[in-house]
Structure 1
Amino acid sequence: MERLASELLHHICTLACTDGGFTGCSLSLVSQYMRAASRSTRFHSITISGTAKQLDGFLSCLEKERAANAHAYKPVVRHLFFAAAEGGEIGKDWRGDPANPSLEAARAHYGQNLALLLRLVTKDLQTLCFVHCHGWRSLTNLQISDVDCPKAFPVLRDLSLYGTNPFVQGPVHFPRLTHLHLTFSAYSVAEKIKDWADLAPRVTHLCVSDIRSISQELKDIAADGGPFHNLSQLCVQPQAPPPSGGRCGRGAFFAHIRFIANFEAFVAAATHLPTKARRHQRLAPGDFTQRAAMKVWLDRVGGGPGYWI
């Protein structure tokens, strides 16, 4: 291995580091030579999810590796899966009075770290999956509604959002984005999909998940792309049915049956723009959402179709 040219090792490690960071960490433990040789590619794809401590550790590691880099290639992040710190902190560290000074300090520190992360990676990102929840946990949940980041993701081509759009300052533009996946939070107000046509004018593939009703906006998009002038494929996914025995009673279940009938009719009537229906999936806040989103993201990073089939 030590006889291979650094350019060849760089290419090999880039092909290997597509699993969110595990392979990159493993390569750094092989030997000092391999640690140095793979420094520029170990951060090719990164998964950050779980706790604020993990974000702290990643930023410290990335800045240290960039400072130690003596090669022509600088460590950059091309693919990022980011799940906002919610489960662990809500259950333990951040529980309590939302006005508690220590809680506010923790939130402020986390927000600063998130802003730093975006400043470090946005100019190189090619794919991004951003997961965050909100709703009945809003008193203890870190609210990510106004993320401070650069004004554009210049090379981002694939974006998946689980929750509302957090990039609202600027507004943030995505000039090269072609694949957009929007999953609306069950607790958020309805978003206007058409607003994305101005932020990302080159979108060719649009996926909308957790649909609760067939709006006129969706009908216009399915008819001829609507405001998306380059759209060639539309994927739609209905909201999951209510759990049996839920507090809303049988009325919610029968309402969902009527909605599914309308949903299927909508897909069948979309003859001008290729429209595909995906099976519903429960996307409740928590680990399940993260695992489901991460599985699709890893497929995309590894060259698979993901949800674009």
Structure 2
Amino acid sequence: MECCPTELWLKIAGLACTDGGRTGCALSLVSREMRALVGPVRFTSISLTTEEQLHAFSALLSSPGTDSSPTIRHLLVYLETQAEHGSDLDTSSIDSALCHVLSVAAPTVVTLAVHGIRFDLIPPRLPFPSLHDLSIDSTDYSTSLTSPHFTTTRRLHIVRRTFPPHPDFWPDLTRFTPLLTHLRLSCVARDGSVPRFLRILLDVPVLAPSGPMGATDAYAPGSEHARRAAETAARLPALRRVAVQPLLMRVRGMCGTPRIAHGRMLVALDAVARACAEGRGTGTLCVLPGSPSYRVDEARADWVNAVGGGDGAWRAVGAKCGAAE
């Protein structure tokens, strides 16, 4: 170490500490000198995918030997067990640990993914001044957007967990993420309001019904719904790139009404996407192949890609519909 300038070591460590925390921990164990050297970049990227990791990292941030204001630029928290069991678990200690970690990370985090855990329980006035990419769950599209934390966020990915959708989802976006340029909605099911609003947002003309599932994708002209949707869309002037990944639903055992509603939503989404591709709109809509869930391996792969400068949750969009930028 004596033969290499400290600045060069710090540069090397900064490039190495982007794998979710393993390299930073390993380097810290080499020697006291190395631990002190990597301290400023040790927590550049942190991946927490078990309750034990979340609790341990929360405790580490409170330990006397840890910088009181560490730089955390990329953070992933995905608790698969909680995502599977939901309200059946006692989550008070988990929620407390998450709030602590997010409170420490908030000033510097740029890429944040939180899944399988109640993200909406964070302190109500906690700002995220550097946050660019956000990926979260929402039980009703809207519960995770309960206060103005995300005024710098450009790309938002929301994974649906329950139905039906929250009626204030689109207005909430204008209040809490006003600078959005990219929006991805995953696991969307039986929600006709999505293609209807996207038609207005992306300035796509009213489309005629088509096929056996055909149903109008537009709000009734002059209706209150149409007026409110137009006002809401006008407050999202930069949002012109949207991706929707429908929920891959089990047909067996599914009664007719939900199946028909889901089919109509798919037809309407495809129609809006085709119109955008043909230039009959001012943005793009990419309809991704259906998926039954957004799994921890997908979330981590997207997050690692974003940490490395890639498109993250938008990788699939680029592969199917062209560049996400």
- TM-score normalised per structure 1: 0.76
Over the residues paired in the alignment, what is the CA RMSD in angstroms?
A: 3.1
Which structure: greater helix fraction?
A: 2
Provide the C-alpha distance between the structure 2 equivalents of 1:197 and 1:168, rounded to a whole number of angstroms. 10
Contact 2:82 2:116 in 1 (8 A): no
- 2:301 is the counterpart of 1:265: no
Taking a change above 3 Å as real, the CA distance of residues 178 and 166 of structure 1, as seen in their structure-2 partners, is same
Letter in 1 for 2:47: T
- In 2, distance between residues paired with 1:289 and 1:279? 16
Select the residue among 165, 173, 185 that pairs with 2:149: 173
**Aligned residue in 1 for 2:53:** 54
**What secondary structure does 1:58 align onto?**
helix
Match of 1:108 among 69, 87, 92: 92
Give 1:228 shift. 0.9
Which of 271, 274, 283 does residue 274 from structure 1 map onto? 283
Q: How does 1:278-297 map to 2 (within 5 A)?
A: 278-284=287-293, 289-297=295-303
Of residues 171, 174, 186, the one that matches 1:209 is 186
Change (3 A) 1:229 1:250: closer
Taking the aligned partners of 2:244 and 2:66, their CA distance within structure 1 comes to 46
Kept in 2, the 8 Å contact 1:147–1:167? The answer is: no
**What residue is the counterpart of 1:138 in the other structure?**
none
**CA displacement at 1:68 relative to structure 2:** 5.0
Q: Give the corresponding residue for 1:184.
A: 160
C-alpha displacement at 1:253, in angstroms? 5.7
Question: 2:78 & 2:295 partners in 1: Cα distance?
Answer: 9
- Counterpart Cα distance in 2 of 1:130 and 1:254: 32
Report whether the alignment pairs 1:132 with 2:131. no
Deviations 1:159-192 (A, max 9, x none): 11133455455x1332221111222223453351
Between the aligned residues of both structures, percent identity stands at 27
Tell me how far apart the structure 2 counterparts of residues 146 and 266 of structure 1 sit (CA, whole Å). 35
Q: Secondary structure of 1:193's match? A: helix
121-130 or 77-86, larger mean C-alpha shift:
77-86
Scaled by the length of structure 2, the TM-score of the pair is: 0.73
1:146 alignment partner, one of 121, 129, 133: 121
Which secondary structure does the structure 2 equivalent of 1:130 belong to? strand
Q: Name the SS for the 1:236 alignment partner.
A: strand
Cα separation, 2, equivalents of 1:196 and 1:16? 36
Secondary structure of residue in 1 paired with 2:55: helix
What residue in structure 2 maps to residue 137 of structure 1? none
Question: Any conservation in 1 of the 2:192–2:264 contact (CA below 8 Å)?
Answer: no
Mind listing any 5+ residue stretches in structure 1 that lack a counterpart? Answer: 134-142
- Residues 40 and 76 in structure 1, CA contact (< 8 A), matched pair in contact too: yes
Report the counterpart of residue 25 of structure 1 in structure 2: 25
Does the CA contact (< 8 Å) of 1:127 and 1:156 recur in 2?
Answer: yes
Give the equivalent residue in structure 2 for 1:139: none
**In the superposition, relative to structure 1, how do residues 17 and 6 fare at CA in structure 2: closer, same or farther (>3 Å)?**
same
CA-to-partner distance for each residue in 1:201-223, whole Å, 9 max, x for gaps?
Answer: 22222222223334232222222
Could you tell me how far apart the structure 2 residues matched to 1:122 and 1:257 are? 40
Size of the aligned set, in residue pairs, is 278
- Structure 2 spans left out of the alignment, 5+ residues: 205-232, 316-323
